[in-house]
């Protein structure tokens, strides 16, 4: 596929896109044919002047005359401020082949390479499921719905935005040698995943404004069903990117920026010492969020690295790097495919990180075992499986068992298009013990932190009232033989 500037020969393609009832169904119906030639003329002039990027999508480079659609980035005023927008259209016979997504991504990658356009917004009609799917799968964040003027009409649209610099691109090369030199050990940075420049100053506060996440108030938006690895990772990356700011703001007084807490009961690693003496140890935190735990370990003399699926969580981590002065190198990657060499770590841990958010627990544990040296430890905290029987409420309502502990189907939230926006997987205690054994790890301890009598704090469904009666967190201490 290639993208080329629109030219005067593209009138027919414009007509097919803009004057066709099916193509324009989500945009209030077809536009009149007259005026299209003048529009192409204006667009071609703008493209030639480079004031906008107005590109025709050519699926086959050998046949540049065959056009599949268009993708455009331009800048305009919105509420008195300049705003960059991206829009695209794909002709019916080329739909369903991923061309639209590739074209959008290619233009955003160019925006990143040229450091042009800043944040890029998109406003697909709420009814346009494929375009909203493209936004989600590329990693746009959803702000909410709004009415957008288009031609002589108003279109109910979803407002998405993306920072092209934060595209999750497996093809983006990692900063060479950074993690490897920090660890002083073999660390394969060439695999899937890439290194966030830990030395970079944290972004300005304005990049961290909160973005509302749709609340699954409608029971139809929540299901218990099976969810595979890719669907799970896609949904959870979207969720954590969208919720990262609100999550960090909600829990900042508890999590701090350099502190290691295993879970809502407040068990501190400083007291529990489940990882042992960490000074000089190579440690990887999986599902590190904003890296508070890893940063604490760095302060204890460990050579720690954080891994997380969510770019936005990692941006918060970088912000804490600058405010605290303690830097945790971080990598954006999926826990199911760690971009790390075999045996590169003495210790691995996860404090409520990836386990519940991956579809195949055994495969995940095997992947962690792979990066540990023989004798290395993997300590992971997860929501206590026992809690799956109860409503996630901090008060009396959360003390009534309503769901079967043995129901292994995932908890899935989805949006009005049916796309999953959050997936959490449940395993029983026995399941987890078997997964650990199947990954060739040895279970050394299972810690169930008790709620401290004088600790009166609520964290979602965790509270003193419930904590006195039912367990909230399970911490599995495993060793690679």
Ligand X SMILES: C[S@@+](CC[C@H](N)C(=O)[O-])C[C@H]1O[C@@H](n2cnc3c(N)ncnc32)[C@H](O)[C@@H]1O
Q: Which residues of the chain form contacts with ligand X (CB under 6 A)?
A: 233, 236, 240, 255, 287, 289, 293, 307-310, 313, 334-336, 351-354, 357-358
Nearest distance in Å: CB 459, ligand X: 10
Enumerate residues 6+ apart whose C-beta is below 8 A from 329.
178, 179, 182, 195, 196, 198, 304, 305, 306
**Given the DSSP bridges, would you call strands 282-286 and 345-351 parallel, antiparallel or unpaired?**
parallel
The CB-side HSE value for 475 (13 A sphere, CA atoms) comes to: 23
DSSP 392: S
Nearer of residues 73 and 315 to ligand X, judged by Cβ: 315
Q: How far is the CB of 85 from ligand X (least distance, A)?
A: 28
CB of 281 to ligand X, least distance (A): 19
Q: Are 242 and 211 in contact (CB under 8 A)?
A: yes
DSSP letter, residue 386: G
Least distance to ligand X from the beta carbon of 354, Å? 4
Report the candidate in 377, 360, 292, 301 with the shortest Cα–Cα distance to residue 330: 292
Minimum distance of ligand X from residue 115's CB (angstroms):
26
State the nearest-atom distance from the C-beta of 260 to ligand X, in Å: 9
CB atoms within 10 A of CB 249: 12
> 309 vs 420, which CB is nearer to ligand X?
309
| 281 vs 336 by CB, closer to ligand X | 336
CB of 132 or CB of 313, closer to ligand X: 313
Q: Least distance in Å: CB of 179 to ligand X?
A: 16
Nearer to ligand X, 124 or 461 (CB): 461
The kind and range of the H/E element at 477 are strand 473-479
Q: How far apart are CA 225 and CA 174, in angstroms?
A: 36
- Of 236 and 281, which CB lies nearer to ligand X in the complex structure? 236
Helices 99-114, 129-138: inter-axial angle, 10-degree rounding? 40
- DSSP code of residue 202: P
Nearer CB in complex with ligand X: 131/336: 336
Nearest to 439 by CA among 374, 363, 379, 350: 363
């Amino acid at each position: 596929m290639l993208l080329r500037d629109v030219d005067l020969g593209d009138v027919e393609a414009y007509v097919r896109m803009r004057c066709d009832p099916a193509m324009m169904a989500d945009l209030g119906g077809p536009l009149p044919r007259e005026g299209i030639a003048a529009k192409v003329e204006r667009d071609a002039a703008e493209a030639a002047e480079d004031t906008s990027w107005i590109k025709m999508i050519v699926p086959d480079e050998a046949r540049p005359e065959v056009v599949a659609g268009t993708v455009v980035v331009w800048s305009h005023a919105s509420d008195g401020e300049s705003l960059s927008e991206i829009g695209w259209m794909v002709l019916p016979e080329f739909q369903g082949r991923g061309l639209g997504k590739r074209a959008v991504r290619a233009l955003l990658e160019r925006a990143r390479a040229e450091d042009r356009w800043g944040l890029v917004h998109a406003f697909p009609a709420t009814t346009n499921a494929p375009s909203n799917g493209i936004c989600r799968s590329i990693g746009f964040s959803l702000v909410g719905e709004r009415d957008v003027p288009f031609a002589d009409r108003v279109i109910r649209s979803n407002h998405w935005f993306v920072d092209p610099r934060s595209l999750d691109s497996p093809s983006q090369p990692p900063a060479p040698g950074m993690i490897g030199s920090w660890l002083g050990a073999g660390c394969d940075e060439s695999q899937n995943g890439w290194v966030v420049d830990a030395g970079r100053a944290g972004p300005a506060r304005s990049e961290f404004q909160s973005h509302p996440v749709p609340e699954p108030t409608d029971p139809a938006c929540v299901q218990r069903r099976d969810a595979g690895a890719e669907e799970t990772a896609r949904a959870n990356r979207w969720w954590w990117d969208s919720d990262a700011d609100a999550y960090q703001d909600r829990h900042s007084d508890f999590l701090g920026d350099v502190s290691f807490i295993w879970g809502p009961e407040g068990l501190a690693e400083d007291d529990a010492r489940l990882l042992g003496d960490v000074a000089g140890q190579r440690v990887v935190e999986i599902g590190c969020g904003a890296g508070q735990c890893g940063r604490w370990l760095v302060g204890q003399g460990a050579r720690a690295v954080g891994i997380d699926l969510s770019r936005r969580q990692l941006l918060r981590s970088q912000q804490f790097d600058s405010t605290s002065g303690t830097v945790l190198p971080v990598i954006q990657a999926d826990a199911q495919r760690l971009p790390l060499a075999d045996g590169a770590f003495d210790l691995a841990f996860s404090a409520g990180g990836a386990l519940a958010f991956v579809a195949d627990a055994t495969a995940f544990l095997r992947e962690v075992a792979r990066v540990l040296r023989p004798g290395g430890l993997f300590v992971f905290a997860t929501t206590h499986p026992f809690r799956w029987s109860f409503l996630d409420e901090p008060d009396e309502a959360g003390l009534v068992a309503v769901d079967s502990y043995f129901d292994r189907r995932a908890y899935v939230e989805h949006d009005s298009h049916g796309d999953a926006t959050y997936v959490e997987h449940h395993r029983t205690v026995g399941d987890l013990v078997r997964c650990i054994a199947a990954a060739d790890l040895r279970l050394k301890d299972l810690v169930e932190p008790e709620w401290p009598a004088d600790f009166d704090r609520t964290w979602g469904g965790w509270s003193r009232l419930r904590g006195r009666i039912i367990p909230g967190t399970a911490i599995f201490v495993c060793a690679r033989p």
